[in-house]
Amino acid sequence: MSNVFYMPPVTLMGPNAIQSLGAELASKELKKALIVTDGVLVEVGLVSKLTDELKAHNLDFVIYDGVQPNPTEKNIEDGLALLAQSNADFVISFGGGSSHDTAKGIALVAANGGHIRDYSKGVHLSKKPQLPLVTVNTTAGTASEMTVFAIITNQEDETKYPVVDKHFTPIIAVNDSELMVAMPKFLTATTGMDALTHAVEAYVSTAATPITDASAIKAIELIVNNLEAVVNNGQDRAARDAMQYGEYLAGMAFSNASLGYVHSMAHQLGGVYDLSHGLCNAILLAEVSRFNAQQVPERFVDIAKAMGIDTAAMTQEQAVNAALEAIDALSEKVGTKQRLADLGVTEDKLAFMAQNALNDACSLTNPRKASLEEIVNIFKARM
């Protein structure tokens, strides 16, 4: 069976990478951008780093700043309305995963028509390339700036669903670690644990390949060695730079190998309770990994080694347990080891969320198949 590997044709990475964006855009005969972001990033002045660069290269723009933390179908519809009104010919997302996912939805539907939900009933369903999309990333977590995934919330029925489409791939991605220096401590922690989850789930995925394996293992090394440092000191430039490479490598892995039950379950927590996606992943990662390790223990031995654990004198079971303990220990150190009940999650919703998790596209590549009861029990273990 052949495999396909998707990633952006151009990625600008490193400190002040955004200062190279204008020249890249100027060569593409693009005229006006719809900037998709959130109000906070506009208010604190971070978006000016982008708009100043566009102005310097005589590129026009209009800003849609209504993106929510768990982006909704309405965010996409509102962005589409402004796109049409402004006659913008390309889209730039500025922010973290919420901005990127919203921008992807806008760009895809603008070119293909219909509703974003129409593209969630399978994979790679769009017929035409989306409007040209540029992604400027300000967090080291979701890797949505370079993946074929977007996660959208349907507020009407409290569901959160993934859209997987090859046309989501941006023409240019920007990872400028200087844009991440001001990230709040808790956001740094949750996005970092999100990136770790991407790497772990991609490594144990049934669709993993040698390319995704290499990306995932290096991502785990970089994240485990740098996340605590950057949470404790957001000004640590070296750790910030390492984290952006770690999250990007994790994105390379999961964009092509897909994910598993951690994400399918976290999507439901986000849809029902509007909880932080990265925090939900952090809470669930070790517990889902415990379930999966019964199927692919050798993969978790590799993960243990990538986390810096000396497994030479350990049995396979000891090495697996050491990896699970290390995941939980890191989560505790960075402040994301919390209980679902403390976040307002109630047991009466568990079966509903478990069923939706099993229907989530991310569940297809989980290495061990679960029953509804087993998914409920994983939720309960973290209550």
- Predicted confidence (pLDDT) per residue in 321-373, tens digit: 999 999 999 999 999 999 999 999 999 999 999 999 999 999 999 999 999 99
Say whether pLDDT at 177 is over 70: yes
Please state the pTM of the whole predicted model.
Answer: 0.95
DSSP-assigned letters across all residues of 73-141? HHHHHHHHHHHHHHT--EEEEEESHHHHHHHHHHHHHHHH-S-GGGGSSSBS--SSPPSPEEEEE--SS
Structure tokens, 319:
């090495």
Fold category of 10-179 in CATH: Rossmann fold (3.40.50)
Answer left, alpha or beta for residue 276, where phi above 0 means left and psi between -120 and 50 means alpha: beta
Sequence letter at residue 46 = L
Asked whether 73 and 152 are in contact (CB, 8 A), the reply is yes
Dihedral (CA of 79, 67, 350, 296) sign: positive
Q: For 44-67, what is each residue's pLDDT tens digit?
A: 999 999 999 999 999 999 999 999
Relative to beta strand 159-164, strand 90-95 is unpaired
User: Of the given ranges (25-29, 153-157, 170-174, 244-248), which has the lowest mean pLDDT?
Assistant: 153-157
For the cut 70, the answer to whether the pLDDT of residue 256 exceeds it is yes
In angstroms, rounded to a whole number, what is the distance separating the alpha carbons of residues 203 and 208?
A: 6
Sign of the alpha-carbon dihedral angle for 33, 131, 142, 36: positive
Dump pLDDT digits (tens) for 117-161. 999 988 899 999 999 999 999 999 899 999 999 999 888 887 888
Pairing type for strands 149-154 and 159-164 reads: antiparallel
CA distance 293 to 296: 5
Pick 285 or 157 by higher pLDDT.
285
Tally Cβ neighbours within 10 Å of residue 294: 11
24 CB-near residues (< 8 Å, 6+ apart): 10, 12, 172
For residue 153, give Cα distances in angstroms to 209, 226, 232, 274, 310: 30, 31, 32, 9, 42
Joined together, the tokens standing for residue 361 give: 């596209």
CB 259 within 8 A of CB 198: yes
Fold adopted by 185-235+254-381: Dehydroquinate synthase-like, alpha domain (1.20.1090)
Query: What is the DSSP-derived secondary structure letter of residue 341?
Result: G
Pick from 97, 87, 71, 99: nearest CA to 131: 87
At 1 the pLDDT is: 65
- Confidence (pLDDT) at 2: 77
Which residues does residue 133 pair with via DSSP β-bridges, in sequence order? 91
What are the sequence ranges of the domains in the chain? 10-179, 185-235+254-381
User: Is residue 116 within 8 Å of residue 167, measured between CB atoms?
Assistant: no
In the chain, % helix, strand, coil (3-state, to 5) comes to 55, 10, 30
Say if 10-179 and 185-235+254-381 have the same CATH topology: no
